[in-house]
């Protein structure tokens, strides 16, 4: 089934961690000659980089993905394309997206439902500049009650509470996370990703293995290919090299030029 979308091409990005889902969507989109698929991403980090750099008109975005989920991807975008969520779960939030003019497709994607989505895209080709605000309000992304102020650390039969404000940085090592403090180090069994989503805004993921407290950064040095070397305010003056995939997030949160 093919419809005439517009006289302009629609630069499109597909984001899904399932190869089968991307293959099916590509096949269905082949019926729409104006759709130009400019790239694919299979995880949230890659999606953020591609969307910010390629600036597509349209993104088909999976919600459930490893690393960053679809909502977290949108939270880190510096550019807002039209978004169509794809998901295998018809949850209450998905119904809410529809009511708020944020389109979605249930997987496996059906031809007739995609046709309806494409018609909506043509009507809304100019985009929705309030998209991120709508989504944040919808899913309660800014809820402060989910933020933690302490992290429990087991020591024999005792549990010590580490105050988040005292943390200089966190480092992932195998199945443990090392909490670096002025007075030393503590080991916890939480994953770095689970802590990332509960820490206050002053904490920044700068590498797959590191989250830093930006209030505890002593110096920032420009490094190779858009990365940075962070000198932390601990007794060792620890140096942390950031990863390129986190560069835009770091610049945004620290106001770097």
The predicted-structure confidence for 187-242, as pLDDT tens digits, reads as follows 998 888 778 878 998 999 999 999 999 999 999 999 988 899 999 999 999 999 99
Q: Which of 16-20, 68-72, 194-198 has the highest mean pLDDT?
A: 16-20
CB distance 114 to 28 below 8 Å? yes
Between 212 and 83, the more confident residue is 212
Between 89 and 28, the more confident residue is 28
Confidence of residue 88 (pLDDT cuts 50, 70, 90): confident
Confidence of residue 130 (pLDDT cuts 50, 70, 90): low
Span 115-129, pLDDT tens digits = 888 887 776 654 444
CB distance 117 to 1 below 8 Å? no
**What global pTM score does this model have?**
0.50
* Residue 99 predicted with pLDDT over 50: no
Least confident window among 51-65, 83-97, 168-182: 83-97
Angle CA 74–101–5, to nearest 5: 95
pLDDT of residue 27: 93
Per CATH, the homologous superfamily of domain 145-254 is LytTr DNA-binding domain (2.40.50.1020)
List every span in the chain annotated with CATH 3.40.50.2300. 10-139
CB distance 188 to 151 below 8 Å? yes
Kindly report the backbone phi and psi dihedral angles of residue 108, in degrees, each rounded to the nearest multiple of 5, phi listed first.
Answer: -70, 140
Collapsed DSSP state (helix, strand, coil) of residue 125: coil
Confidence of residue 1 (pLDDT cuts 50, 70, 90): very low
For a pLDDT cut of 90, what percent of the chain falls above it?
38
> HSE-up of 43 (CA within 13 Å, CB side)?
5
List every span in the chain annotated with CATH 2.40.50.1020. 145-254
Question: Which CA distances in Å does 91 have to 52, 60, 101, 138, 238?
Answer: 28, 18, 16, 13, 44
For 106, the token pair is 């249930």
Between 171 and 95, the more confident residue is 171
Span 31-53, pLDDT tens digits = 998 899 999 999 888 898 899 88
pLDDT of residue 126: 43
| Fold (CATH) for 10-139 | Rossmann fold (3.40.50)
Mean pLDDT score, 135-155: 68
N-terminal to C-terminal alpha carbon distance within the chain: 47
pLDDT of residue 73: 84
pLDDT of residue 152: 92
Q: Can you tell me which residue has the tokens 């517009």?
A: 6
Between 159 and 213, the more confident residue is 213
Q: Which residues of 134-159 are buried (b: 16+ CB within 10 A; e: fewer)?
A: ebeeeeeeeeeeeeeeebeeeeeeee
For 244, the token pair is 């390129």
């Amino acid at each position: 089934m093919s419809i005439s979308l517009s006289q302009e091409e629609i630069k499109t990005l597909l984001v899904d961690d399932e190869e089968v889902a991307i293959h099916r969507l590509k096949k269905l989109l082949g019926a729409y000659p104006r759709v130009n698929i400019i790239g694919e991403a299979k995880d949230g980090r890659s999606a953020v980089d591609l969307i910010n750099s390629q600036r597509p008109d349209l993104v088909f975005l999976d919600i459930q993905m490893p690393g960053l989920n679809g909502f977290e991807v949108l939270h880190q975008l510096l550019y807002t394309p039209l978004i169509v969520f794809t998901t295998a779960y018809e949850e209450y939030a998905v119904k809410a997206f529809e009511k708020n003019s944020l389109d979605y497709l249930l997987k496996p994607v059906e031809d007739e439902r995609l046709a309806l989505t494409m018609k909506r895209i043509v009507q809304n080709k100019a985009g929705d500049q309030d998209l991120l605000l709508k989504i944040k309000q919808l899913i309660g992304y800014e809820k402060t009650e989910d933020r933690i102020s302490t992290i429990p650390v087991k020591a024999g039969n005792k549990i010590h509470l580490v105050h988040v404000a005292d943390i200089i940085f966190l480092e992932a090592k195998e199945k443990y996370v090392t909490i670096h403090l002025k007075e030393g180090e503590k080991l916890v069994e939480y994953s770095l990703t689970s802590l990332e989503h509960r820490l206050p805004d002053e904490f920044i993921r700068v590498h797959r293995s590191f989250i830093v407290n930006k209030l505890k950064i002593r110096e920032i040095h420009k490094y190779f290919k858009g990365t940075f070397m962070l000198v932390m305010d601990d007794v060792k003056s620890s140096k942390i090299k950031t990863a390129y995939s986190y560069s835009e997030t770091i610049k945004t949160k620290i106001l770097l030029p």
